[in-house]
Amino acid sequence: MAQNLKPLADRVLVEPIEDEEITAGGIVLPETAKEKPQRGKILAAGPGGRDDDGKVIPMEVSVGDTVLFAKYAGTEIKVEGKKLMILRQSDLLAIVG
Percent pLDDT > 90 in the chain is: 72
pTM (2 d.p.):
0.81
* Under 8 Å between Cβ of 38 and 15: no
| Tally of CB atoms within 10 A around 40 | 25
* Under 8 Å between Cβ of 25 and 33: no
Whole-number average pLDDT of the chain: 89
Quote the number of domains for the chain: 1
Q: Specify burial of residue 33 (Cβ count, 10 A radius: 0-12, 13-18, 19+).
A: exposed
* 5-17 pLDDT tens trace: 999 999 999 999 9
Q: Domain limits at 15?
A: 2-96
Candidates 41, 45, 87; CA nearest to 64 is 41
- Edge-to-edge order in the sheet of strand 66-69: 75-79, 82-88, 11-17, 38-45, 66-69, 92-96
Q: State the pLDDT at residue 97.
A: 86
Q: How far apart are CA 45 and CA 21, in angstroms?
A: 29
CATH at 21: 2.30.33.40
